[in-house]
Amino acid sequence: MTDLDAFLRWQCGPLVAIANRTALAEWLVHRALGLDPGEHRRDGADLERPGGPITLAVRSAAYLQSAQQSAPTAISFPIEQRTATAYVFCLLAEQDPARVNPQDLAQWRFWLVPTRRLHAERQSIGLQPLIRAHGEGLAYEQLREAVEALAQPGLSTDLRN
């Protein structure tokens, strides 16, 4: 481990920590879409897709946090903001503390949900309502195609898998 790696681990803590996981989820969405995330993260900023009329609000959740837990966390995504075209709900789905690895893309599921398909008065959505309304989610590799489909006028935005 380099001194910089050691410093970053000391400064930031584990990737499963809420702030780090949220930043990582935003980074993953940028990478999946082939977008340059820029020099520095802008906390809470919507992701804008160049060449397309959409903005994405990225939200993350995980069963496991950085602190000791007696049970997995109940999954809920905040949806308080309404300016984005769609939300990308990112779930770090691994429930085994010995196996959880936020860098393993296979441990993530993504839901791309047009904002217009969310109830206007709702401030959050749990995992089961999300699955019932929008399917089992997407693998990392499917996210770019789903966003491209959403950006195309006239194409179906039913992104259930």
List C-alpha distances in Å: 5 to 10, 40, 119: 9, 18, 43
Q: Which residues contact 58 (CB under 8 A, 6 or more apart)?
A: 22, 25, 26, 29, 46, 47, 87, 88, 90
Indicate the pLDDT class of residue 112, thresholds 50, 70 and 90. Answer: very high
Within 10 A of 114 (CB to CB), how many other CB atoms are there?
Answer: 16
Within 10 A of 103 (CB to CB), how many other CB atoms are there?
Answer: 9
Q: Which residues contact 41 (CB under 8 A, 6 or more apart)?
A: 23, 26, 27
In one-letter notation, the amino acid at residue 87 is: Y
Does the global pTM surpass 0.85?
Answer: no
* pLDDT tens digit sequence for 11-65: 777 777 778 888 889 889 988 988 877 665 666 566 676 666 688 899 999 998 8
